[in-house]
Structure 1
Amino acid sequence: MSMIYSSLTSLINRISDEFHKSFLFKFIFTILGFIEAQWTNSYFKRFYPSENFLGFLNKNKILSIHIFNPLIVLFLFALFLLLSINNPSGSLTITLILAFAGFFIGSAILPKYFINRNLKNIVEFKRDDIYSIGFCLMIVSVVFFFISIASVGGIPLLKPSIRYLLKPAFTMPVFLIIPATCLIASVFLKDFQDNTITRSQARFRFLLLLVIDCAFLLLLGYRTPLLASFLIIIIIGFYGNIVSLWEVVVGALIGIGAIIGIGYFRSLSEMTITSSTSPIYTLQSRADFTLHVLNLLDFIGGNFGLTHGHMLASSIPGSDLGPRMMVGKLIAWRSEVTVTPTLIGQMVVDFGKIGVFVEMCLLGFVLGIGFKLMQITKNYFYIGIYSLILTYTILGIETGILDIQVLLYFTIAIFIYLLNIKITKN
């Protein structure tokens, strides 16, 4: 396995080096270096609020230490359910209790028996390898962005109707910008930890990554991947002491406002609501519809499930129906539409109430191990990988964890965490 990793990273490092040697990238990085210098030495920085702004937030232990604890998933899931206009059925209520209990056990209790605070050895990754992987993923993403807009003959943000003409084969590689952002931001954190760059430089580079993500993802008309990038930057920055707590709180409010605003104006442009409708209604209606779908899936799944793993397996490219199309077929016999089933929708259809408890326990365990490793080691890579899987779990509260690339991220994280558990036990 180490030989495969070494060969792969050697190739990726060579590709990254060739790009960096090219005139175009030398020119780009020279300009960015000049802008960074102006930014870090700017007179106007003194007008920006200090780290102690809204200092009362730092006195709250939950916010200052555990704001991105895995249990935030349960809090946000409960909040999402409360947004719904209608209530869950009695059967679904039992399923949700099992889901919450399983996740709590997996994230808060089980990791104590696998990772201890006296951990000394961990699986280490070279800074240059991680940067090269992130950089190459970014290049692939940008290339496929231009292929995507060329294939539909326009920019989806400016012409919303053509967004539905985008081909998944072209857009999926664009979303590699998210793990690319995660890895590159982690490397900038490493440089900050090693005093290679200042905190101001790290903050500028984090902001630059976010601007790049906004430029590409927003133009395609996607808001969920954009929110993923936003969350990753905030989580890495927070645990790396690059972003202050008050910025996290303000950033969360801005993020919520962006979700509401983009959804509201897109609904207006598609004429699904009128200007007299409350902006928050778009969130309420989505939550209500998703809860209605979950009620139906819970009824279909019962105690032991219906599809027995076929829905999760349908995430593999080449399947006749994707997982969200399968949901559409199960509840409405319409395979041409995609329907989001929430975090536990796939679990209950595949394996029923029993499966929900077990899978949520496993999901909580992965996040719990990641959180504990991150807290103990303060390692830049483990902060990055935890931010990636936590982000997609949070987003999966509505959409489910069903995309093949997201499942791949979790698979890689699980493999790395298991290696660390093995080291701990030896």
Structure 2
Amino acid sequence: MSIIYSSLASIINKISDEIHESFLFTFIFSILEFIENQWVNSYFKRFYPSETFLSFLNKNLILKNHIFNPLIVLLLFALFLLLSLNAPSTSLVITLIIAFLGFFIGSAILPEYFLNNDMKIIQFERKDIYSIGFCLTLLSIVFFFISIASVGGIPLLKPSIRYLLKPILTMPVFLIIPGTCLIASAYLKDFQDAKITRSHARFRFLFLLIIDCAFLLLLGYRTPLLAAFLIIIIMGFYGNIVSLWEVVIGALIGIGAIIGIGYFRSLGEMTITSSTSPIYTLQSRADFTLHVLNLLDFLGGNFGLTHGHLLASSIPGSDLGPRMMVGKLIAWRSEVTITPTLIGQMVVDFGKVGVLIEMCLLGFILGIGFKIMQKSKNYFYIGIYSLILTYTILGVETGILDIQVLLYFIIAIFIYSLILVKSRN
């Protein structure tokens, strides 16, 4: 396995080096270096709030030490359910209790029995991580231009053409998220090794976030945009690049962005009027998703209906995607995509029993990742934990059903498993 990794890393490093040495990218990075130096030495930086701003937040130990603990998933899931205009059925309440209990056991209890003594993490070269991230980001930008050219416009400016976007072209665009995550990890390593200052690291994190927002916002997608925002915030917090008060303010901005983009997109599509409350778009979305979950819970029962077929439909080449399959299951309409929440796939595939097992497994993956990150403080493991936690949080509504997201979890499981085995020997 190490031979395969070394060979692939060598190829990617050569590609990255060739691109960096080209005239175009030499020119681009020269401009960015100039802007960075102006930023770091700017007179106006002194007007930005200091570390002591809103210092009372640091006195809250839960916020300071556990704001991005895996249990945040349960908190956000509960808040999402509370947004709904209608109450869940009795059967669904039982399913939710099972789900919450399974996740709590997996994330908070089981990890305590692992990696308590001598933890041996797998070390990755900074250059390899940066090169992989750079190539993924460049590939996603190329597919962004191909995507907008295929529909003849920018979806943000013409919302109706967003539905003409082809998934086979847009899926590679979303690789910008893990791409910039890996690049940010490399910059975090530079900061940890004192090769760059905290101000330099903050500028580079901010620039990566701007790059993500610029391309993802133009496509008109909210979820990937929020993913990019969350990853940078989580990585910055655990890498001591972002302060707690910035996390809290950032969270408020993120919530505002979700509400704002959804509200104006709904106005553009004439599904609401200007007199409608902006938060109504969130409430109606949560209510519809909960209604879907009620139906899936009824279909799944105790032992499931589709027995893994819904999850397997994420594989490219399937007749229906997972969210289209949900549409067919509950409404016999395969031309629509419907989000089933975090446990929707679990309950319709394997019922309440499956919910308990899968939520426990999901919690365990995040719990082990959180423990490895806390104990090692390693730049790469901060990045990978931020990536899988982000998509779990977003999966509260959408479910973890996209093939690329499943791939992120498979990679995380593989690396964490190697660490568990290595640490036992």
Question: Alpha-carbon deviation of 1:86?
Answer: 0.3
Match of 1:163 in 2: 162
CA contact (8 A) 1:307 1:351 kept: yes
Q: How many residues align?
A: 425
CA contact (8 A) 1:111 1:372 kept: yes
Question: Alpha-carbon deviation of 1:283?
Answer: 0.2
Correspondence list, 1:21-420, <5 A: 21-116=21-116, 118-420=117-419
For 2:418 and 2:123, the matched residues in 1 are separated by 11
Match of 1:15 in 2: 15
Q: Which amino acid aligns with 1:357?
A: L
CA contact (8 A) 1:107 1:367 kept: yes
For 1:49 and 1:275, the matched residues in 2 are separated by 36
Name the SS for the 2:157 alignment partner: coil
Q: TM-score, normalised by structure 1?
A: 0.99
For 2:198 and 2:122, the matched residues in 1 are separated by 26
Q: Which amino acid aligns with 2:141?
A: V
Name the SS for the 2:20 alignment partner: helix
For 1:153 and 1:285, the matched residues in 2 are separated by 31
Question: Alpha-carbon deviation of 1:120?
Answer: 4.2
Aligned-CA RMSD value: 0.5
For 2:298 and 2:154, the matched residues in 1 are separated by 41
For 1:316 and 1:300, the matched residues in 2 are separated by 23
Q: Which amino acid aligns with 1:241?
A: N
Question: Alpha-carbon deviation of 1:132?
Answer: 0.3
Question: Alpha-carbon deviation of 1:195?
Answer: 0.3
Name the SS for the 1:175 alignment partner: helix
CA contact (8 A) 1:343 1:398 kept: yes
Question: Alpha-carbon deviation of 1:181?
Answer: 1.1
Kindly provide the CA deviation profile for residues 101-150 of structure 1, in whole angstroms up to 9, marking residues without a partner as x.
Answer: 0000000010111221x334211100000000000001100000000011
For 2:25 and 2:290, the matched residues in 1 are separated by 48
Q: Which amino acid aligns with 1:79?
A: L
Q: Which amino acid aligns with 2:19?
A: F
Q: Which amino acid aligns with 2:15?
A: I
For 2:182 and 2:135, the matched residues in 1 are separated by 11
Q: Which amino acid aligns with 2:237?
A: F
For 1:305 and 1:121, the matched residues in 2 are separated by 39
Question: Alpha-carbon deviation of 1:52?
Answer: 1.0
For 2:322 and 2:154, the matched residues in 1 are separated by 28
For 1:389 and 1:257, the matched residues in 2 are separated by 23
For 1:209 and 1:262, the matched residues in 2 are separated by 21
Question: Alpha-carbon deviation of 1:205?
Answer: 0.2
For 2:48 and 2:285, the matched residues in 1 are separated by 37
CA contact (8 A) 2:226 2:254 kept: yes
Structure 1 spans left out of the alignment, 5+ residues: none
For 1:115 and 1:290, the matched residues in 2 are separated by 38
Kindly provide the CA deviation profile for residues 247-270 of structure 1, in whole angstroms up to 9, marking residues without a partner as x.
Answer: 000000000000000000000010
CA contact (8 A) 1:370 1:386 kept: yes
Q: Which amino acid aligns with 2:192?
A: Q
For 1:293 and 1:220, the matched residues in 2 are separated by 26
Q: TM-score, normalised by structure 2?
A: 1.00
Question: Alpha-carbon deviation of 1:193?
Answer: 0.2
Question: Alpha-carbon deviation of 1:398?
Answer: 0.2
Kindly provide the CA deviation profile for residues 178-211 of structure 1, in whole angstroms up to 9, marking residues without a partner as x.
Answer: 0001100111110000000000000000000011
For 2:220 and 2:255, the matched residues in 1 are separated by 17
For 2:121 and 2:412, the matched residues in 1 are separated by 14
For 1:364 and 1:342, the matched residues in 2 are separated by 16
CA contact (8 A) 1:119 1:376 kept: no
Question: Alpha-carbon deviation of 1:424?
Answer: 1.4
For 2:121 and 2:263, the matched residues in 1 are separated by 46
CA contact (8 A) 2:143 2:173 kept: yes
Kindly provide the CA deviation profile for residues 206-237 of structure 1, in whole angstroms up to 9, marking residues without a partner as x.
Answer: 00001101110001111110100000000000
Q: Which amino acid aligns with 1:90?
A: T
For 1:254 and 1:309, the matched residues in 2 are separated by 38
| Percent pairwise identity | 84
Q: Which amino acid aligns with 1:29?
A: F
Kindly provide the CA deviation profile for residues 8-50 of structure 1, in whole angstroms up to 9, marking residues without a partner as x.
Answer: 0000000000000000000000000000000000000000000
Consecutive aligned runs of 4 or more in structure 1 exceeding 3 Å deviation: none
Q: Which amino acid aligns with 2:140?
A: S
Q: Which amino acid aligns with 1:12?
A: I
For 2:203 and 2:164, the matched residues in 1 are separated by 36
For 2:103 and 2:215, the matched residues in 1 are separated by 34
For 1:190 and 1:119, the matched residues in 2 are separated by 23
CA contact (8 A) 2:119 2:419 kept: no
